Amino acid sequence: MNILMRLSPLALALAATPSLAEMPKGISHFKLDNGLEAVVIEDHRAPVVVQMVWYKIGSADEQPGKSGIAHYLEHLMFKGTDKLGPGELSKTVTANGGMDNAFTSYDYTAYFQRIAADRLPLVMEMEADRMQNLRIGEDDWQAERQVVLEERSQRTDSDPGAQFAEERSAVQFYNHPYGRPVIGWRQEMEGLTRDDAIAWYDAHYAPNDAVLIIAGDVTAEKAKELAEQFYGPIPPKENTTRKPRPQEPEQRADRRIERSDPRVAQPVLTRSILAPERNAGEQKQAAALSVLAELLAGSAQTSVLARDLVLTGKALYVDARYDGLTVDPTTFGISLVPGPGISNADAEAALDAALTKFLEDGPDAAQLERVKTQIRASRIYAQDSAHGRAYDYGQGLSVGLTVEDVNDWPDILGAVTADDIRAAAQLVLARPGSVTGWLLPEPAADQAQAATATLPAAEDVQ
């Protein structure tokens, strides 16, 4: 094995983990007859358990014109069943010392509770109940639509950075629904109804398209027994599996967008390009992209862009982002804030020069080794949070990976070579089709005006 030979003695010790085919310690996996797939992550250090149910359906599966329905339904899932009144599930969890919540993304919708281990049957009973018996009252759906609109106001419309990210995505994706915001476009959200929500629920919420994760102070045997008891009786549905989404054509043109807003404090550059995602049995390219992001900007002092741009004063901050846990191709992105006295054009030119140099030189061997050491250390630190590992498996299985793919990921990251990184860099740094966005403050004069406009009111507080 070439990988092991290149590791330092420390790294060798850290790499003493199970070989690829074995299940990591404390992880087990089973499937019920109705198709519900489950992963159990044992951690007996504290009497706590986390239950998560992930449905393999998200905003990217919505029909055009109905954006936001996946997230709106997520909210309505708390409005009760035949057995539970509106809000009663959360109140019951809270009354038992636990907490619960839910979240929606492009590719999945997930519900979770964190609670004392002996209450696991209770939360499993309630989660299984709303997998098949959701009821939404007349008043509830209208008030909740206001809540999601307020959520949009709070998260997106009050934040020019979030608004700009929404528009950048719309420009990035010509054809794929990843170009639409998860929360939905406001005018479409305003038209969503209970019937839309119920149709979505009936079509997609079924055990055969869900993933159950139980993490914490429970044995694999007990978790399986409880899963059989509560989820086993739920019949599978037909035709629930998401349909293939419209895919991106080849993108040939670089695009640029720009927006000024008085609420922006300083210019921010973001550049992104389509990139491949993690796929079952095929994660090597995604691993190389993950390591590439670390090499470029993972450290504020030693990364490629930190050395070339931040230490030299050309940028205040740099960042590189890649997350391959998606169903369809995702993006690789870089962002920066220009340094004091550096024009936006000079900052961008310095970024271009640094990336060109990296494409020519490839990764520095010592830096690559340090990044890999950190990856191996992260694997140890990750064991400190059963909740965190529940996310890894839930998200992985929801986007079509297998348990083995999730298990193998740290090893695949560790096996990335300098040549893999060069190839990944060519893929995301040297091709056309990028979207470059500048989010800018108002021009100087307007900015001064905007600042004074807020002062009189603010003065009475001082």
Partner 1 sequence: MIRALATFVFVALAALPVRAIEIQEITSPGGIKAWLVEDHSIPFTALSLMFKGGASLDAPEKRGAINLMTALLEEGSAQMDSVAYAEAIEALGASNRFDAGDDALTVSARLLTENRDAAADLLRQALTEPRFDQDAVERVRAQVQSVIRNEDTDPNSIASKAMAKLSWGDHPYGSSVNGTAETVAALTRDDLIDAKNRVLARDRVVVAASGDINAEQLGQLIDKILGGLPEKGSVPLPEQAKLQLTGGVTLIDWDSPQTVVSFAQPGLPMSDPDYFAAFVADHILGGGGFASRLMDEIRDKRGLTYGVGTGLSNAVYGETWVGGMASANEKTAEAVDLIKQEWDRFGESLVTDKELNEAKTYLTGEYPLRFNGNGKIAGILAGMQLIGLPADYVNTRNAKIEAVTAEDVQRVAKRLLHSDQIRFVLVGRPQGIAASN
Residues 23-52 that bind partner 1 (CB under 8 A): 43, 45-48
- Tell me the two tokens of residue 59: 């905003």
The residue among 11 and 428 lying less far from partner 1, judged by its C-beta, is 11
Q: Does 365 bind partner 1 (CB under 8 A)?
A: no
Task: Round to whole Å and give the CA distance between 158 and 285.
Answer: 37
**Catalytically annotated residue among 37, 62, 74, 348:** 74
The residue from 115, 336, 351, 399 that contacts partner 1 (CB under 8 A) is 115
| 138 catalytically annotated | no
Q: What count of residues does the chain have?
A: 462
439-458: string of b/e by CB count within 10 Å (b at 16+)? bbbbeeeeeeeeeeeeeeee
Task: Round to whole Å and give the CA distance between 408 and 283.
Answer: 9
Q: Does 263 bind partner 1 (CB under 8 A)?
A: yes
The residue among 8 and 426 lying less far from partner 1, judged by its C-beta, is 8
| Dihedral pair phi/psi, residue 235, rounded to 5° | -70, 145
**Of 6-14, 66-74, 191-199, 223-231, which segment contacts partner 1 by CB under 8 A?**
6-14
Q: Does 383 bind partner 1 (CB under 8 A)?
A: yes
Taking the mean position of all CA atoms in its chain, how far away is CA 80?
A: 28
**Of 33-41, 187-195, 239-247, 379-387, which segment contacts partner 1 by CB under 8 A?**
379-387
The residue among 256 and 263 lying less far from partner 1, judged by its C-beta, is 263
The residue among 115 and 421 lying less far from partner 1, judged by its C-beta, is 115
| Dihedral pair phi/psi, residue 320, rounded to 5° | -130, 130
Binding map of partner 1 across residues 395-434, x = CB under 8 A, - = no contact:
----------------------------------------
**Of 119-127, 164-172, 271-279, 415-423, which segment contacts partner 1 by CB under 8 A?**
119-127
Q: Among candidates 385, 413, 392, which has minimal Cα distance to 325?
A: 392
Q: Does 6 bind partner 1 (CB under 8 A)?
A: no
- Tell me the two tokens of residue 7: 């590791």
295-334 positions binding partner 1, by CB under 8 A: 299-302, 307, 310-311, 313, 316-317
The residue from 83, 254, 359, 448 that contacts partner 1 (CB under 8 A) is 83
Q: Does 85 bind partner 1 (CB under 8 A)?
A: yes
- Shortest distance, position 405 Cβ to partner 1, whole Å: 24
Task: Round to whole Å and give the CA distance between 270 and 83.
Answer: 49
Report angle CA 402, 407, 410 to the nearest 5 degrees. Answer: 125
Q: Does 229 bind partner 1 (CB under 8 A)?
A: no
**What is the pairing mode between strands 255-260 and 435-440?**
parallel
Task: Round to whole Å and give the CA distance between 423 and 433.
Answer: 17
Q: 222, 407 in Cβ contact below 8 A? A: no
Q: 217, 131 in Cβ contact below 8 A? A: no
The residue from 3, 116, 199, 423 that contacts partner 1 (CB under 8 A) is 116
Catalytic annotation, residues = 74
